[in-house]
Structure 1
Amino acid sequence: MVGHGTLHAYVVGASGRPATEAERGRMAALVTEAVKAGACGVSSGLEYLPGAFADLDELAAVAAPLKGTGLPYATHLRNEDDQSLAALEEALNVGRKSGAAVHISHLKAQGERNWWKAPLMLELSERARAGGLDVTYDCYPYVAYATGLSNMFPVWAREGGTDAFLARLQDPAQGERIKAQVWDKVNQLGTWDAVQISNTGSDSLAWARGKRLGQLAAERQQDPYALLLMLVEEDRNRSGMVGFGMSEEDVGRFLAHPLGMICSDGSALTTDGPLARGTPHPRNYGTFPRVLGLYCRDRKLMSLETAIHKMTGMPAARLKLAGRGTITPRAFADFVAFDPGRVADRATFEQPHQYPVGIPHVMVNGQWVIRDGEHTQAQPGRVLTP
């Protein structure tokens, strides 16, 4: 996809403002060029910088070249907790104003005080769909999300890059305001133990990996906010976190809804080597077998057929990937052979680097990449374009 943040940085620069009319035109022209070159849509991350600087006009301008293509404007909402309903409405308005299809990335209602919003988020999406807007979303089967540790801090505090962010943390005039907003974030999650350090850039901070902030603070007899500041400052804003903020009921609700697809929101990791560092979110290893085992077989949330469609044919159709996601004549031979009675995830939040069980064979583009549970060393992958 064409990243809106990349477009904004390239055209607008680091000025910390929305694009002007002329800049919006340049950004739209770049999107048009990228779509012709094979991009499968436009993505935005409005909770992060520089995406947070964009306004509705800017977002609609970059999405407008997608009108009539069926390719989506896919967005990480501006807010996924206290302002999540307004953030969802903003995303839908981008579609209404631009004419583009809209896809909401990893839809969620984050923080116990916001769980009541989950049915309303689905209702807003259904109403938009009934009104003619092509809208879908994806979600993952966990009650926790993953992001940078700096996401505990307000967007305004992070403006200007790492040096500016760290300087604000040391500025008494701004420090108390930042602290109050961080505490509000913690109260929304419920406790400091809702924040787990997933990774650190510096190995000197490896002692924090896999630990909850509340747990660490107690072990070190340290104020949890002071500990958070120390980690951000000593690691120069490179630490990651897992945040436990969603309800199990809502996870099931989002997974089962007809507008929802299943995603991992994860990365390609391995159980050894440099990609085995830290304690990342278990979704990187367990998302799809977790749905097949826990939510389909054990909890009977949906049929296997429905779940598989949400993982394959539905997302392939959303991205206009011809010949993918279906078993049909002349389609690409991509297959996952699994045992429906045995398939299960093994990755946990404490021990995430574990492969699932019950998946003996995987074929990609007609070549076996996993055979009898072992990697064949084949690398038949291809770049996917509409």
Structure 2
Amino acid sequence: MGEIASLTSKPPFRILVEILKFSHAEARMILHKYYHKNLIPLLMKHPASMFMTDAWPEPSGVQNASAFGAFPKFLSIARDTNCLTLEEVIFKMTGLAASRFKLKNRGIIADGNFADLVVFDWHQIQDNTSPEKCDAAPTGISHVFINGIPCILDSKLTNQKPNGEFII
């Protein structure tokens, strides 16, 4: 936004409004300014931290890389920096997040809970997204089950759609 504002001599907010108007409020942007590789492990270790993303895959256009790589990135950072154990990093992205957002029957494996499971290799999990390839699949995930429905098996989409309740 700053670069466009400088080139056009318009305030950044005006540029944002014009882009939203021109795109019928469908423009997307990715902000990388909050990421610093030395800061992230320190933040991850903090007792109040948990891991989440507000990104989702879009049907078309440039994707938000977080929709594809946020959780693999948290896992690989924890592994590579030893800032958290496997159990700690998983809890911060599942049980703790579900509890904090008051998501019932989610976040931990227990009788009566939804069967949302990701099977991955702790030594291979890796975010593969880049500014050039925002929708690159992560490495190291072999199976994904949502509400007990296998959505990914042997690292391949199954085309099965999860049914039932998603959030509450």
- Structure 2: which amino acid aligns with 1:276? S
- Larger proportion of helix: 1
Alignment correspondent of 1:263: 52
Q: Deviations over 1:226-262 (max 9, x none)?
A: 5976785376254332233225143333222111110
For structure 2, which runs of at least 5 residues remain unmatched after alignment? none
- Structure 2: which amino acid aligns with 1:277? G
Query: Is the CA contact (8 Å cut-off) linking 1:321 and 1:384 kept in structure 2?
Result: no
Alignment correspondent of 1:366: 148
- Structure 1: which amino acid aligns with 2:141? I
The root-mean-square deviation of aligned C-alpha atoms, in Å, is: 2.8
Alignment correspondent of 1:277: 61
**Fraction of identical pairs, as percent:** 29
- C-alpha displacement of 1:296: 1.5
Query: Which residue of 75, 79, 90 maps to 1:297?
Result: 79
Query: Is the CA contact (8 Å cut-off) linking 2:106 and 2:113 kept in structure 1?
Result: yes
Q: Deviations over 1:351-384 (max 9, x none)?
A: 2021111101011222211111112122124334
Distance 1:234 1:332, change over 3 A: closer
- Structure 2: which amino acid aligns with 1:291? F
SS in 2 for 1:287: helix
Structure 2 Cα separation of the partners of residues 321 and 247 of structure 1: 28
Query: Which residue of 70, 93, 116 maps to 1:334?
Result: 116
Q: Deviations over 1:106-143 (max 9, x none)?
A: xxxxxxxxxxxxxxxxxxxxxxxxxxxxxxxxxxxxxx
Structure 2 Cα separation of the partners of residues 338 and 244 of structure 1: 27
SS in 2 for 1:336: strand
The higher relative CO (CA closer than 8 Å, separation ≥ 6) is in 2
- Structure 2: which amino acid aligns with 1:236? K
TM-score normalised to structure 1 length: 0.38
Distance 1:242 1:364, change over 3 A: closer
Query: Is the CA contact (8 Å cut-off) linking 1:344 and 1:358 kept in structure 2?
Result: yes
Structure 2 Cα separation of the partners of residues 344 and 296 of structure 1: 11
- Does residue 233 of structure 1 match 2:18? yes
Query: Is the CA contact (8 Å cut-off) linking 1:282 and 1:348 kept in structure 2?
Result: yes
Structure 1 Cα separation of the partners of residues 28 and 167 of structure 2: 31
Q: Deviations over 1:257-303 (max 9, x none)?
A: 1111101121133xxxxx2302x43112100011112x122122211
- C-alpha displacement of 1:345: 0.8
SS in 2 for 1:379: coil
TM-score normalised to structure 2 length: 0.80
- Does residue 311 of structure 1 match 2:93? yes
Query: Is the CA contact (8 Å cut-off) linking 2:57 and 2:64 kept in structure 1?
Result: no
Alignment correspondent of 1:156: none
Distance 1:376 1:232, change over 3 A: same
Structure 1 Cα separation of the partners of residues 19 and 105 of structure 2: 48
- C-alpha displacement of 1:328: 2.4
Q: Give runs of aligned pairs for residues 1-386 of structure 1, distance below 5 A.
A: 186=2, 192=3, 213=4, 223=7, 225=9, 233=18, 236=21, 238=25, 239-248=27-36, 249-269=38-58, 275-278=59-62, 280-293=63-76, 295-384=77-166, 386=168
Structure 2 Cα separation of the partners of residues 247 and 334 of structure 1: 28
Structure 2 Cα separation of the partners of residues 385 and 235 of structure 1: 29
Query: Is the CA contact (8 Å cut-off) linking 1:345 and 1:357 kept in structure 2?
Result: yes
